Amino acid sequence: MKVSLLPPFYKIFDIYQPNVICEIGTHDAKTAVQFVDYCIGLNPKLKYVGYDIFDDVKNNADFHKKEINGKGAGKLSTAKNNLNHRQRKYKKFTYKLIKGFTHDTLNESKYDFVYIDGGHSYETVKNDYNKLSQSTVIVFDDYQTDGVKKFFDELVKSKKITKVTWEEAFNAPKPCWCFLPHKRSKHIQPVLFNA
Q: 89-99 pLDDT, tens per residue? A: 999 999 999 99
Q: How confident is the model at residue 119 (pLDDT cuts 50, 70, 90)?
A: confident
Q: Average pLDDT over the chain, rounded to whole?
A: 92
- Check pLDDT > 60 for residue 60: no
CATH of the domain at 84: 3.40.50.150
Total tally of structural domains belonging to the chain: 1
pLDDT score at 26: 93
Q: Name the band, by pLDDT with cuts 50, 70 and 90, for residue 46.
A: very high
CA dist list (Å): 90 to 12, 16, 103: 21, 20, 32
For residues 186 and 172, what is the distance between their CA atoms, to the nearest angstrom? 26
Q: Which domain holds residue 15?
A: 3-193
What pTM did the predictor assign? 0.93
**C-alpha closest to that of 115 among 42, 187, 174, 41:** 187
